[in-house]
Amino acid sequence: MQQGKDIISKYHTYLRLEKSLSPNTLDAYMTDLDKLLRFVASENRPILEITYQDLQQFVAQLRDIGIHPRSQARIISGIKSFYRFLLLDGYTDKDPTELLETPKIGFKLPEVLTENEINKILDSIDLSLPEGQRNRAMLEVLYSCGLRVSELTGLRYMDVYFDEGFVRVEGKGGKQRLVPISETAIREIKNYLYDRNLVAVKKGHEDILFLSRRGTGLSRIMVFHIIKQQAEMAGIHKNVSPHTFRHSFATHLLEGGANLRAIQEMLGHDNITTTEIYTHINREFLRKEILEHHPRNKKR
């Protein structure tokens, strides 16, 4: 334990003096390294015994919780720097990061679920379980409103305007917006409230809509695990995350003829160019439809 602290302290000195990093860059390196250290602690493994397979698992977790590929690449670069230091100072004679690949950064269409796949996931939820109705209501809101996972976990009971059919969402930078909510989602929330009233709510979480069984708000990672589990149970083999529901929401709106500006407002995008990614999805969808259904493309 003490050895690990000494190594980190020496690495900090190495970055500051030998690499002459600026204070901000130095902080960024140490913050990214801390992510690896917390992973190492959770695995109960000494830092010097970490293997390439361990690092692959760490990177997979970064991807699974929605860390952007550009941020993943930066974190991996910092970890490679740390292991180069360990080699230089003789702490190890092996570099487990040698074969570690950084994610490709470039334009990539987000994974999208069909409406049928969304329904399959929702229908796979076991409503006889204590958390069943909560999960169904939660995923219905996620899809019906196109929320970010942080917006979903922060949603309060007072943010749902049942009669008006809107939810008030606090997005990035504390910016608030009103998003229409479907009648289906409202019905699922009302059904969930019966179960919610049976939970012993912890102080400070009284107004949070979606609660854990411990009476606290759900974490983003918990929502991710719930979605992964339900997608597997539904037999969906795509890489599904909370953001997949948001992408699907926007894509289905566009396919249904919604105005791009309206989608921008509902998603809480500051810049229309962020929303325009969904026009690429729509073109791809149309191309697929033509290839599958146009008489000139049908096999004779």
Q: Is the pTM of this model over 0.75?
A: no
Half-sphere exposure of 119 (CA within 13 A, CB side): 4
Enumerate the active-site residues. Answer: 148, 172, 243, 246, 269, 278
Tokens of 274: 């962020």
Mean pLDDT within 23-34: 86
Mean pLDDT within 139-165: 91
pLDDT of residue 52: 87
Tokens of 27: 């902080």
- pLDDT band of 284, cuts 50, 70, 90: low
- pLDDT band of 109, cuts 50, 70, 90: low
Structural domains in the chain plus CATH codes: 2-88 (1.10.150), 115-293 (1.10.443.10)
Average pLDDT, the chain: 82
pLDDT of residue 222: 92
Do 256 and 120 touch, CB atoms closer than 8 A? Answer: no
pLDDT of residue 274: 55
Q: Measured between alpha carbons, how far is residue 53 from residues 39, 98, 100, 179, 200 in Å?
A: 13, 12, 9, 43, 41
- pLDDT for 129-147, tens place per residue? 999 999 999 999 999 888 9
In the predicted structure, residue 231 carries a pLDDT above the cut 90:
yes
pLDDT of residue 271: 58
Half-sphere exposure of 208 (CA within 13 A, CB side): 23
Q: Measured between alpha carbons, how far is residue 41 from residues 7, 45, 157 in Å?
A: 15, 6, 36
Task: Compute the distance between CA of residue 45 and CA of residue 289 in angstroms, rounded to an integer.
Answer: 51
- pLDDT band of 171, cuts 50, 70, 90: confident
pLDDT of residue 292: 54
Mean pLDDT within 77-91: 89
Mean pLDDT within 140-156: 91
In the predicted structure, residue 155 carries a pLDDT above the cut 50:
yes
- pLDDT for 233-273, tens place per residue? 999 988 898 888 988 888 887 777 766 667 777 777 665 55
